[in-house]
Structure formats: structure tokens, C-alpha cells
Amino acid sequence: MEKKTVVILGATGSIGSQALEVLKRLKDYELIGFSFHRNVKKAQAVLREFKVKAILVTGDIAFDTEDTIVCRSIEDFFEKLSPDITLIAVPGFAGLEMTLKAIENSKRVALANKESLVCGGFLIKKALERHGTELVPVDSEHSAIFQILDKNVRKVVLTASGGALRDWKLEDIEKARVEDVLKHPVWNMGKKITVDSATMVNKAFEILEAMELFELDFSSIDVKIHKEGLVHGMVYFKDGTVKMLISNPDMRIPIAYSLTYPERIIEFPPPNITNLNLLFEDPDPARYPSFFLVKKIYSSYAKRTAYNAADEEAVEAFLKGKIKFVHISRILEEVVESIEGEPKDLEDLKEIHEESKSMARKVIDCLSSTSS
């Protein structure tokens, strides 16, 4: 059997690193290229272990190697490679353009970048249709829905951990420090997505992502807090039955499935279902105001893009100690309210993205000056 070739965009991040672990266990899959931004030390370690044909360096840093082609643009990178599968593990708005290029140059795109569909879902769907590329989700929740979705659906449910502050008294959240917010109760993830879990912005992204992936109406998607982290998604059918996918909270499981679909090649330990106690709660608007903004933005790609851009700026400011945790929702709301119109192409989205980031920085400066 000829090996399937794989490219990982964002190989030095959390998802990319776990994907590399998965590939070590897949003897019929070969990594032929990867990208990284600034983590030279980790990139060199990956290069030593995987003898790839080409590397894409997206950061403004020096990086040279004798035996491997080093590219500085996504176009040049894909000119050198035509992979069977491209895994998109690049975070943020930057992942959108990479996803579009991957769709043009791959047979399958394994997507771990929410923002591609949040901001540019209409572009992604057009590109998939034009090039006949297969899209398989990597997020644990969307992987779950992907695996159990069928006809005659009444609604789907995405589960959420509730983040690090889920059990805090509401009056104490005002005092939450960066180190408090980064103590995720279930998953071990990067800092940005861990903060997004605490605000549940991450779950708002996932609602928008599910709308695009599965052609669902906003009203047919529900979210429940599920602290155990074992149920990753549920589908309600019209005949009153419910299917749910249960597994241990391990991102390597959906990563492996996105690469090997429809096969299940790698063995992972199953969850202990003895005395299984599954609890589901509705998110509290007072605790998660940023999440509930999704009701205002779901029908507008402009506002969705603004929401994402403002969140990128707000989370970075919070992690740097410039603003309080509770300021994040205020920044998102002010920026979203200011953006109107509808994007027609990638250039429009880029313009909205930059405009929204600029607005967010102004709000951040105002908040940081009044709170200092």
C-alpha cells in the first residue's frame, strides 16, 4: 500500500504537536511538510525526527537547513508539495487563507482552525465545491457530530466544559487573574483557547463552525455545560432518539480520526463507564456574556469576523495584564456593534479583520487607562 502523504500547518502548536504523536503510530502515513511561526527550537526537533521535503516559515525569523526546502509563502510551499491530507492547526484569522490554499492543493483538509469557518465559511464552501476536496473536522465536538450525524435531525448539542471559572461566584470573577483563567479543568490547551474556554467564546465559534460544516440552522444547535468532559456531542432525531459520542478528553482521538477516516486505526483506552454519571447544564448569561453575543452575530460574516478579531486583541491584552477578564465581553460587544456590511471576498474579510482589531485596541487603551 502506497503511503498517504500529510502536511501539518502549525506543527509546533498544541494540536500540531499531538498530530505528530499520532503520525508516529500510523505506518502508512508520511509527513512530507509542515509550517511553523517562530518556535525554531521545536521546528528543528520536528525536522530531525521527520525527514520532510519542505518547510513553511510564517514568522519573520531566520531559518535555514541544508537538506530541506525552506519556503516563505504558502503559494511556494504548495507548489513544492501536493499532499493527500493537510491538517490545519494554525490558530486565528491567519488560518483562513491557509485553509483556502490547502483546499486547492490537497485531497482532504483536516480542519482544526475554527476561525476559517467563523469568518470565511462562504469562501470555504465555494472552494470545497470547486476543487472537490474533502473536509473533516478535528475539534472534538465537531468530530463527534460528524461521526453520528444522520438524516431526520431535530437538533445537535455541543458540550462545553465551562472553563476555569465555571464554579466561581459571579462576584469573584471580577478578581480573576491570568493564572486562574489558565487552569482549565479538563483539557490541556494553548493559552488563547483556554481563555476562550473560560469566556465560552470558543463555544460561540463552534456553533458558527457547526452551522457551516453541517448546513444547520442556528436554532437547531444547542450548547450544554458538561463538566465530566466525556460526551463530546449529541444528535437529537425526529423519532425521539438521541445519539451521543463518548470518549476520554484526548485530542489525539479526533486528530487520528480526521487523518484515517473512515477507518479507526489507532487504539486508545476507552473511558471508564462504570457508575457513569452524566450531567448537563445550560450556560448562564451572567457568567458568559461573551458567549451569548453569538445571537447577535451568527447571520453576519462581517460581525462574525469582527467578533473574532476583537477577541484576538482582547485575549492578548488580558494575558499581558492590560485589562481585566471581565473587560473581554465589553470589548467584543463594542466592536461588533460598530461593524456593518457584508464581505464579498477574502480581501473584504481582511479589511474588516484589521478594522476590528484597530477598534478593539482603542477600547483596550481606554479600559487600561481607566483601570490603572
DSSP 173: G
Q: Where are the alpha helices (DSSP H) in the chain?
A: 14-24, 40-49, 74-80, 94-105, 114-131, 140-148, 178-181, 191-199, 201-214, 252-260, 289-292, 294-297, 301-319, 327-338, 346-371
User: Are 221 and 106 in a shared domain?
Assistant: no
Strands 108-111 and 85-88: parallel
Encoded amino acid at 135, one letter: L
pLDDT in tens, 67-115: 899 999 999 999 999 999 999 999 999 999 999 999 999 999 999 999 9
User: Are 22 and 72 in a shared domain?
Assistant: yes
CATH number, position 127: 3.40.50.720
Of the three residues 263, 292, 321, the one that is the final residue of a domain is: 292
C-alpha cell at 12: 509546533
pLDDT grade for 371, boundaries at 50, 70 and 90: low
User: Are 53 and 109 in a shared domain?
Assistant: yes
pLDDT in tens, 224-252: 999 989 999 999 999 999 999 999 999 99
CB burial readout 312-329, b (16+ within 10 A) else e: bbbbbbbbeebbbbebbb
pLDDT in tens, 296-347: 999 999 999 999 999 999 999 999 999 999 999 999 999 999 999 999 999 9
User: Are 189 and 269 in a shared domain?
Assistant: yes
DSSP code string of 289-324: HHHHTHHHHTT-HHHHHHHHHHHHHHHHHHHTTSS-
How high does pLDDT run on average in the chain?
Answer: 95
Q: How many domains does the chain have?
A: 3
The Cα–Cα gap between 190 and 360 comes to 22
pLDDT in tens, 128-168: 999 999 999 999 999 999 999 999 999 999 999 999 999 99
Nearest by Cα to 201 from 69, 62, 336? 336
User: Are 163 and 268 in a shared domain?
Assistant: yes
CATH number, position 358: 1.10.1740.10
Q: Are 249 and 233 in contact, with CB atoms under 8 Å apart?
A: no
User: Are 278 and 308 in a shared domain?
Assistant: no
CA-based diameter of the chain, in Å? 64
Instruction: Indicate if the alpha-carbon torsion angle 123, 129, 131, 132 is positive or negative.
Output: positive
Average pLDDT over residues 181-195: 90
Of the three residues 137, 170, 186, the one that is the final residue of a domain is: 137
User: Are 221 and 276 in a shared domain?
Assistant: yes
C-alpha cell at 194: 483556554
User: Are 150 and 288 in a shared domain?
Assistant: yes
User: Are 158 and 14 in a shared domain?
Assistant: no
Nearest by Cα to 54 from 71, 39, 73, 72? 71
User: Are 32 and 116 in a shared domain?
Assistant: yes
- The predicted model scores a pTM of 0.95
User: Are 192 and 148 in a shared domain?
Assistant: yes
User: Are 148 and 277 in a shared domain?
Assistant: yes
Q: How many CB atoms lie within 10 A of CB 25?
A: 12
Average pLDDT over residues 199-220: 97
Of the three residues 242, 269, 292, the one that is the final residue of a domain is: 292
Q: Where in the sequence is the domain holding 20, given as residue range(s)?
A: 4-137
User: Quick check: helix, strand or coil at residue 232?
Assistant: strand
